[in-house]
Structure 1
């Protein structure tokens, strides 16, 4: 007797076929696989380099170290932003050693070569001592593609990459209602981790782990499979909608008291939780109505542009290969893993939080607690040293090292995936095609 396939959880028009490629351990532990990624994957995609708030004036710059590469993005006199490889063409020394800064010229600390903000060499020691004559005006930093979306700056090593907004599709259109352009990055943390970058990418490509890794979320985010909607796009990106302001349908929260913290969330919008005893599931609609009524006077001007779904639900946007935006009406979380320069069993995890500016608000709640509503400086640590990267992120990272250890076992023969983990399967098939230069 043939097994009956479960009903699709994928939105109409947003499902994708998969081949069923084996997902074995080598891609997580092999230096050969890491080298294929370095050669065939990372040079062909767009990378999030920073936020525009760090590039307000001519000469402001951001450095983004990625694997063995280092990129510098610089604000130009005409307001444009250019990106350059962070390497002096003289002898290869890195020009910029800090995360952010501002200078009229980029100056090499080794021999004092100086470059204007547009990457042109403008000063050298002993200019007449070169066989071809003075190199100033003739030598330039190696430039990369650099474009912006909302408050973000992206770069790409691929001169033939699609324009950024086309590559991001459909997210620029899907996110427009949130009004991200002026949001403030209030959290900027990262950590060195002892597992391959793809382990956390797999984690963000499924919700199957929520009941075990994040059980406390179930009282205000509905992680029930029938209520979760998945989308997979032709671009290779994917997304997941989860109902917010509603307890999970995996357990009976409908018949009794409104669970915490959903009761506090409701009360914050003037809703009496006691009035919803036995009908917890409709608090979501009550919050929508309250936000429509009270949002503007509380300073949330962006509510006016949002759909009802955006006002209360969580939109997890997973961009191939290594970037996730988790959207709620009051917060955008950026979650990303990047490869270690030389070790396939290590990576760098990054977590940013952006919030809309609200008049009169001095502090905002984030996954690490209350922080000032102001642009945050970067903080880096090593995972496991006791520095929180956000309470949910800490839980996600908690499985990383033990999974990496298990992937090294002879007993692991390859992933066995459920239908709801189809996005994991598709991610690895896209990865297969790119690292083996099939697309």
Structure 2
């Protein structure tokens, strides 16, 4: 069966939305947040980090989610594992620092219990003084599911969860076409935002807001919903495919504008040649990238379709991850639940770029960056930019969080192009109720 046949088989069809209300308390109730944690986050696959962080034996990295910290390790033979980042002796957080290499043992700072990278206890002081038995070689860190795909390491706290590939379904096949296993994370940012995680993820489940918040994108992305493809899959994931490298169908401009003019020049095309036929730029760039890309070091172009060479495919992976895929970069946009306050969240923005010979600097949503693994930047929302488009999205998040407390709000009144928002909440309800 071809990938397109599998996609068609995976799609929802007919009237699949029930119309479950999206009430305000879902965004501020601690009781509902606990139900989400137990029924959703404790059972679904999450990205833990870049596989490159664990490429060298003896590497460790951590990822916080809610009140949990997940520890991932790469042992001497390169096996990657994930554990709860807690010492089983007295509950101390085991690894405090992220991103270590060349580690042979992990030592708890409290009582010096020592663990090998496979999580097994290898040394304790006064080992004979344990009435229940010497723990060395017997006790170990609590291991959880861990798999890699697309250059990313994923984890799942549910021992009965499906494999990552089964969980992602046809999304996995589509992601792998981009050949991102060796791409570099050039932006790694986390902001603390005063809104519930779903406010941000609702936003990534629709493009209805683009003409209000991101009007400048219309110079090189077709933001008309009539020309956008929405695919909602039975497994709860979805994708929005937006045509790129051409002006919006809503635009009446007959000349190529920035930044599309610079993109055309980069690929040896004259922007002035498209005066009066500005929507021809997309196909022209597809042809030029296909012809010139491999010789310029873009080896990964061979795996993508012509549409993927120019368009933006936004995969929203249940429950909280958006992967914005393009042929020359991809982004992870992910709100994570706050450890204790449902009216706050942590918002991750990563930008990954492919290896191209001679590349030492790249353009990102936060300006020019060196082509090298980025350090982790953390800050409060508003203290620094998390990317110009993301800044615009977050500009309304806090006001919406306040508004959802109002007696004047009872349920979202959604357009057809916002079906993915309702779908997100219905799948959350299904997980909480045990229907999935």
TM superposition score category, shorter chain reference: over 0.9
**1:404 maps onto 2:406 in alignment:** no
Aligned residue for 1:99? 98
Aligned residue for 2:381? 383
Aligned residue for 1:346? 344
**Counterpart-to-counterpart distance in 2, 1:325 and 1:51:** 14
**1:26 maps onto 2:51 in alignment:** no
**Counterpart-to-counterpart distance in 1, 2:167 and 2:378:** 29
Aligned residue for 1:311? 309
**Counterpart-to-counterpart distance in 1, 2:215 and 2:426:** 30
**Counterpart-to-counterpart distance in 2, 1:348 and 1:142:** 25
Displacement, 1:368? 0.4
Please say if residues 36 and 436 of structure 1, whose CA atoms lie closer than 8 Å, have aligned partners that are also in contact.
no
**Counterpart-to-counterpart distance in 2, 1:83 and 1:237:** 24
Displacement, 1:175? 2.2
Task: Please give the secondary structure, in 2, of the residue aligned with 1:321.
Answer: coil
**Counterpart-to-counterpart distance in 2, 1:325 and 1:87:** 30
Aligned residue for 1:56? 55
Runs of 5+ consecutive residues of structure 1 not aligned to the other structure: 1-10
Aligned residue for 1:273? 271
**1:151 maps onto 2:148 in alignment:** no
Displacement, 1:352? 0.6
Instruction: Write out per-residue CA displacement over residues 401-435 of structure 1, whole angstroms, 9 at most, x where no aligned residue.
Output: 01001111111111100111001111111111212
**Counterpart-to-counterpart distance in 2, 1:393 and 1:174:** 24
- Of 362-371 and 290-299, the range deviating more from structure 2: 290-299
Instruction: Write out per-residue CA displacement over residues 372-420 of structure 1, whole angstroms, 9 at most, x where no aligned residue.
Output: 11111111011011x1111111111111101001111111111100111
- Of 23-32 and 161-170, the range deviating more from structure 2: 161-170
**Counterpart-to-counterpart distance in 1, 2:54 and 2:90:** 28
Displacement, 1:251? 2.4
**Counterpart-to-counterpart distance in 1, 2:124 and 2:89:** 10
Aligned residue for 2:363? 365
- What pairs with 1:198-347 in structure 2 (closer than 5 Å)? 198-253=198-253, 256-347=254-345
Please say if residues 322 and 336 of structure 1, whose CA atoms lie closer than 8 Å, have aligned partners that are also in contact.
yes
**Counterpart-to-counterpart distance in 2, 1:133 and 1:425:** 54
Please say if residues 144 and 156 of structure 2, whose CA atoms lie closer than 8 Å, have aligned partners that are also in contact.
yes
**Counterpart-to-counterpart distance in 2, 1:427 and 1:63:** 27
Displacement, 1:50? 0.5
Aligned residue for 2:76? 77
Instruction: Write out per-residue CA displacement over residues 52-85 of structure 1, whole angstroms, 9 at most, x where no aligned residue.
Output: 1111222200111111111100002222111111
Displacement, 1:367? 0.5
Instruction: Write out per-residue CA displacement over residues 172-230 of structure 1, whole angstroms, 9 at most, x where no aligned residue.
Output: 21122211111111111001110000001100000100100100000100001111010
Aligned residue for 2:46? 47
Please say if residues 61 and 75 of structure 1, whose CA atoms lie closer than 8 Å, have aligned partners that are also in contact.
yes
Displacement, 1:12? 6.5
Please say if residues 326 and 334 of structure 1, whose CA atoms lie closer than 8 Å, have aligned partners that are also in contact.
yes
**Counterpart-to-counterpart distance in 2, 1:61 and 1:12:** 40
Aligned residue for 2:125? 125
- Of 172-181 and 211-220, the range deviating more from structure 2: 172-181
**Number of matched residues?**
426
- Of 147-156 and 264-273, the range deviating more from structure 2: 264-273
Please say if residues 26 and 33 of structure 2, whose CA atoms lie closer than 8 Å, have aligned partners that are also in contact.
yes
Aligned residue for 2:3? none
**Counterpart-to-counterpart distance in 2, 1:133 and 1:413:** 58
Aligned residue for 2:425? 428
**Counterpart-to-counterpart distance in 2, 1:135 and 1:265:** 61
**Counterpart-to-counterpart distance in 2, 1:251 and 1:340:** 40
Task: Please give the secondary structure, in 2, of the residue aligned with 1:18.
Answer: coil
Please say if residues 150 and 175 of structure 2, whose CA atoms lie closer than 8 Å, have aligned partners that are also in contact.
no
Could you tell me the TM-score, scaled by structure 2's length? 0.96
Aligned residue for 1:3? none
Aligned residue for 2:108? 108
**Counterpart-to-counterpart distance in 2, 1:132 and 1:199:** 49
- Of 52-61 and 400-409, the range deviating more from structure 2: 52-61
Task: Please give the secondary structure, in 1, of the residue aligned with 2:295.
Answer: coil
Task: Please give the secondary structure, in 1, of the residue aligned with 2:128.
Answer: helix
Please say if residues 71 and 86 of structure 1, whose CA atoms lie closer than 8 Å, have aligned partners that are also in contact.
yes
Instruction: Write out per-residue CA displacement over residues 139-172 of structure 1, whole angstroms, 9 at most, x where no aligned residue.
Output: 1111101111021101111111111111112122
Task: Please give the secondary structure, in 1, of the residue aligned with 2:217.
Answer: helix
**Counterpart-to-counterpart distance in 1, 2:259 and 2:157:** 45
Please say if residues 236 and 320 of structure 1, whose CA atoms lie closer than 8 Å, have aligned partners that are also in contact.
yes
Cα distance, 1:12–1:85 mapped onto 2, change above 3 Å: closer
**Counterpart-to-counterpart distance in 1, 2:263 and 2:58:** 44
**Counterpart-to-counterpart distance in 1, 2:153 and 2:426:** 28
**Counterpart-to-counterpart distance in 2, 1:143 and 1:257:** 58
Task: Please give the secondary structure, in 2, of the residue aligned with 1:408.
Answer: coil
Aligned residue for 1:86? 85
